[in-house]
Amino acid sequence: MLSDREVLSTLSMVKNEHLDVRTVTLGVSLLDCARESLSAFVDAVHARIITQARDLVAVCDEVGERFGIPVVNKRISVSPVAVAAAPFDARGMVEVACALDAAAREVGVDFIGGFSALVEKGMAKGDLALIEAIPEALARTERLCSSVNVASTRAGINMDAVALMGRTIKATAKATRERDGLGCAKLVVFANIPEDVPFMAGAYLGVGEPSSVINVGVSGPGVVRKAIDRAVAENPGIHLGELAEVIKRTAFKVTRVGEIIGREVARLLGVEFGIVDLSLAPTPNVGDSVGEIFQSLGLGAIGMPGSTAALAMLNDAVKKGGAFASTRVGGLSGAFIPVSEDRTIAQAAADGFLSLSKLEAMTAVCSVGLDMVAIPGSTSAETLSAIIADEMAIGVINKKTTAARIIPVPGKEAGERAVFGGLLGEATIMPVHPNPCCEAFIRRGGFIPAPLQSLIN
């Protein structure tokens, strides 16, 4: 039973501290949409999504209004399209992408994810067709998101896929050059992708999931920062162990709210409840920033020495508090540091406190990885692949999910600004080493073998 003080604290979170449910994602399986012809498959996919998701937005709004806690984003994830549409070629994959986008627009959701492939051990015909289709698919759609898993701790790193994704990101940026390479903001390269991901742009419904399921992503960086500020105001000498406890208790409340909302939405839609993703995910709004948490902990800006340790503490405390509040935790879970989507992180990058190298180091302890990082459009495909390979290695060796969502902004160089709009925000373009000399390494291709699971050091 919650005390009066805890109830009042939660009300204050809603009213003053940006507490909301960041995403309710309806997972929709497409595996039973298999048909011999492309047109029949596209029709089946469109009908399946419309049937399953037509009430999603209305129900989320109704539940949010009833509980007084807004559901900010309503989204859909589908089965990996490379599996569901495996018989079709790249042209067919583009048609499937357009059908998914049209269905998402028709039911009023923000994004639809699942234009995805899992290629950590090799690329099948459907995987190659989907990856080939990505640039045109993301250029012709507005709400579609795509992801490709190229590595895992058990399989190693598929360097052929890494090289291919470097070229695909370049082509996607070129195809959306009028919008600062916006297509790349909806494309993620993963290592160790989880089976259930409710967060865009990497969202997809795993093949082991039910036909339809509700997953919830909670937010709350503003809530955590305010809780730290209150604790410091009450006790200026508070140490980091006590602040970790404050973060843990706050994460518990935030997660509890997410689970209550998610279960009610699932009940009203008549589908199963899946998981709560515990991730602290920022928005470009003032007061809803992960970067501001670092300042409250005593760092001048994210990126300064001490940032990796602070992020590790934050990540762990969020997981501990959230896991105690929910019976089903999944997804990515932790703290995100997407550069363009967080006003304070974007400012730290613009001021030179946060470099690409420091970001890479911090991804060793956070969810998910190099996220929404704008780099010069002149960066070569091989250099992009090398950056991806470094990030994949961090995930593979440390047995954690990592990802790269990098945007080579066409026609712009380091120091200029890239604007993506909405939740995707804007950011100053970060410099990349002027003479990376990594082409020969990337062109070797093949596999980097899976790491030894013993003798860990």
Tell me the average pLDDT of the chain. Answer: 90
Task: Please say if the pLDDT value at position 10 is more than 70.
Answer: no
Which range has the worst mean pLDDT, 251-260, 295-304, 324-333, 404-413? 324-333
Distance CA 355, CA 234 (A): 34
DSSP character at residue 335: B
- Ranges of beta strands (E only) in 153-293 are 156-158, 187-191, 196-197, 204-205, 212-218, 272-277
Q: Give the position of tokens 């991806």.
A: 388
Per-residue pLDDT reduced to its tens digit, 49-83 = 999 999 999 999 999 888 888 888 899 999 999 99
Tokens 């990802």 locate to 403
pLDDT, position 251: 87
Angstrom distance (rounded) from CA 151 to CA 269: 36
Residues in the chain: 457
Q: Work out the percent of the chain whose per-residue pLDDT is above 70.
A: 95
Residue 138 burial (C-beta neighbours within 10 Å; 0-12, 13-18, 19+): buried
**Statement: residue 393 has pLDDT above 90:** yes
- Distance separating the N- and C-terminal Cα atoms of the chain: 44
pLDDT tens digits, residue range 306-317?
999 999 999 899
- What value, to the nearest 5°, has the Cα angle with vertex 137 and ends 159 and 121? 25
pTM > 0.75: yes or no: yes
CA–CA distance from 83 to each of 52, 87, 119, 322, 409 (Å)? 20, 9, 11, 33, 31
- Give 18-31 pLDDT, tens digit per residue: 677 888 999 999 99
Owner of token pair 């703290």 = 335
pLDDT of the residue at 296: 93
Q: Tokens at residue 40, please?
A: 């029949």
Extract the tokens encoding 279: 């991730």
pLDDT for 423 equals 81
Helices 159-175, 125-140: axis angle to 10 degrees equals 20
State phi, psi for 92 to the nearest 5 degrees: -65, -40
Residue 58 CA to residue 62 CA, distance in Å, equals: 6
Confidence band of 9 (pLDDT split at 50, 70, 90): low
> What's the pLDDT band for 1 if we cut at 50, 70, 90?
very low
Q: Report phi then psi at 191, rounded to 5.
A: -125, 140
Mean pLDDT of 102-106: 97
Quick check: 455 pLDDT over 90? no
pLDDT, position 5: 61
Residue 28 burial class via C-beta count within 10 angstroms: exposed 0-12, middle 13-18, buried 19 and up: buried
Residue 6 has pLDDT above 80, yes or no: no
Task: Tell me how far apart the alpha carbons of residues 339 and 284 are, in angstroms, rounded to a whole number.
Answer: 10
Residue 285's pLDDT is: 72
Distance (Å, rounded) from C-alpha 353 to C-alpha 359? Answer: 10
Q: Does pLDDT of 331 surpass 60?
A: yes
Q: Is residue 86 over pLDDT 60?
A: yes
**Parallel, antiparallel or unpaired: strands 71-78 and 272-277:** unpaired
